[in-house]
Amino acid sequence: MVFITVKHGANVETLFNQDCKCAALLRAIRDKCCNFGSSEIIDLSDKDGNVKDLRKYPNMTAKEVLADREDCVLIRVGEKLAKGSKRDSSKQKSTAGRGLNSGGVSGGGGAGSTAGGGSSSTAGASSVSGGKKLTGTSQQSHHSATKRR
């Protein structure tokens, strides 16, 4: 059986059949795991933070790109497309991924995410908490506000 495990949310894992085209797999992952609009670009990374870049191979089967029974982490790519616009490769922004959290997609504790919303060792990746990135100052003020209550 050909399947992959996609880690997302708060330690949630979902199995997906990889015997389909990469575009269909990404669409199925978005439908099942994502809680945001279709303008957000998603991809998968391995546990080491290597982005799989499935969007580059929309007509290849996912099993040609991903290993059988591979554990992947769902990431949001740092590029947004306007609705109805076509992607111009000469004007593309960086595709460094960001792990997500709080009702969306998460790095699942793997590559691209750290506990408490700090930055990770993956280039261009960061965790998001409540839709906002927590910096050291934000974490301290959030922690202080919680103590005062």
Residue 143: predicted pLDDT:
41
Look at residue 75 and give its three-state secondary structure: strand
Identify the CA nearest to 75 among candidates 115, 116, 122. 122
pLDDT at 97 over 50: no
What does each C-alpha distance from 78 to 17, 49, 60, 138, 143 come to in angstroms? Answer: 26, 15, 23, 22, 28
Q: How far apart are CA 19 and CA 58, in angstroms?
A: 13
Residue 106: predicted pLDDT:
40
| pLDDT digits 0-9 by tens, 14-61 | 999 999 999 999 999 999 998 767 778 999 999 999 999 999 999 999
pLDDT at 3 over 60: yes
pLDDT at 138 over 80: no
Q: Is residue 132 classed exposed, middle or buried when 0-12, 13-18 and 19+ CB atoms within 10 A define those classes? A: exposed
| pLDDT digits 0-9 by tens, 55-87 | 999 999 999 999 999 999 999 987 655 666 555
Look at residue 33 and give its three-state secondary structure: helix
pLDDT at 2 over 50: yes
Look at residue 44 and give its three-state secondary structure: strand
Angle at 90 between CA 88 and CA 91, to 5 degrees: 70
Q: What is the mean pLDDT of residues 1-20?
A: 93
| pLDDT digits 0-9 by tens, 103-125 | 444 444 444 433 333 333 333 33
E strands along the chain, which residues?
3-8, 12-17, 40-45, 71-80, 97-98
- Taking the model in full, what pTM does it have? 0.54
